[in-house]
Structure 1
Amino acid sequence: MNIAIASPSDLADITALYAEAGYGAAIDPADTILVAKDEAQLVGVVRLCPEQGVTVLRGMQIRSVYQRQGIGAQLLAACRPYLDQHASYCLPYAHLLPFYGAAGFTVTDNVELPDFLAQRLEFYLARGQAVIAMQRPPGIRTRS
């Protein structure tokens, strides 16, 4: 498995993977996008989005036939140098708490979130999504 920063030629494959997964968020040119490839096939993606002075980890998706093979963990490990630079947040599904916790994210409550993320969280919760808010300070040591 090869993990790398996405190239412009990967964008169509990323968009297709997001559509396949039912994930609809738009890709911003300011995002740092990491991809996992099995030979030439894109099998996973994650975005690190600079938003209002913090980094938001978004859009972690693994192609269904490649799930449960550690690819998400490899992508998350590749994110760590970027996450170490700024306070970081994510709004994952609650069952993924241990996964993101291994990278140093901890559960936080709404009052500790930047306003734009608190609003995003409330929107997701109002839609019935079982998500939680997690934060990660810059430069922390985590398990490998």
Structure 2
Amino acid sequence: MIELGIAMPRDAAALARLYRDAGYGAAVGAEDTVLVAKTAASLVGAVRLCREEGVLVLRGMQVRRDVQRQGIGSRLLATCLPYLARAEAFCLPYAHLEGFYATAGFMPADSAALPAFLADRLATYRARGQGVIAMRRPAG
């Protein structure tokens, strides 16, 4: 059985391990809201909701490789909805995940419409060869 909820301080090491194993290098900020998926034995998924320069950004959606394709990511994304309803939000997912994020109301966004720091981040990711797109979700 998988339980979803807000990460607790005791989850920090498992969260760091999940992100490291996934090759995700961004650090979790003290002000981030981190939602996690856990089994009785381990943390199997996580997503971060970050306030960056006054903007809500969904980041770090990761599900442990051995339990992917079981709906965990979809459940994590659904758990984000009450937080996303509070303000306009952005994410920079891989292009093949556009439909996945669309289920939570995210729509493709032109990079010119992004806050400057996100446009810079998008350009950096693309310069590294990462096939990412910009997506925006209106408040509500």
In structure 2, the residue matched to 1:75 is: 76
**What 5-or-longer segments of structure 1 have no aligned partner?**
140-144
State the Cα distance separating 1:62 from its structure 2 match: 0.3
In structure 2, the residue matched to 1:19 is: 20
In structure 2, the residue matched to 1:33 is: 34
In structure 1, the residue matched to 2:43 is: 42
- State the TM-score, normalized to the length of structure 1: 0.95
In structure 1, the residue matched to 2:122 is: 121
Residue by residue over 1:83-139, the C-alpha shift from the partner in whole angstroms, topping out at 9 and shown as x without a partner, is: 111110000000000000010000001111000000000000000000000000111
* Pairwise CA RMSD: 0.6
In structure 1, the residue matched to 2:104 is: 103
Residue by residue over 1:16-63, the C-alpha shift from the partner in whole angstroms, topping out at 9 and shown as x without a partner, is: 000100110011001000000012310000000001121100000000
Sequence identity (%): 59
Give the count of matched residue pairs.
139
Task: Specify the code of the residue in structure 2 equivalent to 1:32.
Answer: T
- State the TM-score, normalized to the length of structure 2: 0.98
CA distance in 2, matches of 1:102, 1:22: 25
